Structure 1
Amino acid sequence: MENVKTLYVTGYKSFEIGVFQDNDPKITVIKKVLKREISDYLNAGLEWVLVSGNLGTEIWAAEVVAELKNDYPDLKLGIIYPFKEFGSNWNEKNQGNLTKIEGLADYVDSVSHQPYQSPAQLKMHTKFLLEHSGASLLVYDKEYPGKTEYFLKDAELFSEKYPYEIRLITMDDLQNSMQE
């Protein structure tokens, strides 16, 4: 947590944890834990939070960062899409969520400036995020696999060669926060 200037936040997509409504109580719990964790990083010098715009954890993290900006006006939010036109095939409601967080962001760009062509773009995106952040905060539990597993494996390999912190928020962490 020390001297992490840029934090990448990712985790479960909403459908992976059965969240289909914006008023699902699970969102409140996840946002509460994200806020606490990101605040800890802020108190240790965090300047930027990056997300990729995926539905679920990343959208909620962006909303949490927007809230935290009230107390930490220097905090910046960056959205780094893997490719151009990311989310353009989503339904109107989901595209609206993306547009909303773009409005909250200080920086929006994509690693590949082409529309989706191949998985290589996703690999380049992961590499970019690892090289441009000092740590990752993942709402992810290895006992409940999801797509975040791919990023986590790459991050673990990266952390064997470079100083890189990986913090997991597990199902137990979420459960415990409900009892606080």
Structure 2
Amino acid sequence: MKVLAVTGYKPMEINIFKHDDERTNIVKAAIEKRLIAFIEDGLEWVLISGKMGVELWTGEAALELREQYGLKLAVIPPFENQEERWPEPIQQAYQQLTMAADFFRPLYKGSYSGPYQYQANNKWLIDKSAGCLMLLDEEFPGSNRYFYNEAKQAPGDYPIYLITPADLEDMAEEMRMTEPEYWD
């Protein structure tokens, strides 16, 4: 698979309310681990729409992997200025990400004009990718359910890979085990 779409929860859907919350490191580490496995199997591009939360953290992880692995990042928001109502630190992170991305272009010109923009963006990401990676708890899908349902209806064999809450717990434990105090 050369192109992978990645999405997941907005931060408030997983009780993260600050951009620098330490729990984001666990999410980013889990995403990075999965991306490296995909890279080793031929992944070249990561596609995101740049929504706050998992997608921004994925973008940051992809940029960190770019130097070592040559991974490329495309940010395709549903419309221009999607970040204009976000908290200032998240707006800054988004703007830095879009400037550093290998490709950036909003799907629609102009600002938000209706939910059809999100629907079209989900379809576009699925059409342009060979599979997707999602941070998702199937019991509590949140806003992810729209992308997830669209991906399940994709024609052909469109693989949906999940990072689950259990995967995040495993990653947190892995990270704890790397701390010297853990073994004392």
TM-score, with structure 2 as normaliser: 0.90
Aligned residues: 174
Q: Which runs of 5+ in 1 are unaligned?
A: none
Indicate the percent of aligned positions where both proteins have the same amino acid. 34
Q: Which amino acid aligns with 1:172?
A: A
TM-score, with structure 1 as normaliser: 0.92
Residue 21 of structure 1: which of 18, 23, 36 is its match?
Answer: 18
Return 127-136 or 19-28, whichever deviates more: 19-28
CA contact (8 A) 2:80 2:109 kept: yes
Aligned residues: CA RMSD: 1.2
Find the counterpart in structure 2 of residue 90 from structure 1.
86
Question: Is 1:6 aligned to residue 3 of structure 2?
Answer: yes
SS at match of 2:141: coil
What do residues 136-179 of structure 1 show as CA deviations (whole Å, max 9, x unaligned)? 10011112231011100110011xx2221100100011111222
Mapping 1:92-107, distance limit 5 Å: 92-107=88-103
Find the counterpart in structure 1 of residue 182 from structure 2.
none
Return 31-40 or 20-29, whichever deviates more: 20-29
Find the counterpart in structure 2 of residue 52 from structure 1.
49
Find the counterpart in structure 2 of residue 67 from structure 1.
64
Higher strand share: 1
What do residues 77-118 of structure 1 show as CA deviations (whole Å, max 9, x unaligned)? 000011122212223222111111112201111111232111
Question: Is 1:114 aligned to residue 110 of structure 2?
Answer: yes
Largest Rg, 1 or 2:
2
Q: Which amino acid aligns with 1:31?
A: K
Find the counterpart in structure 1 of residue 179 from structure 2.
none
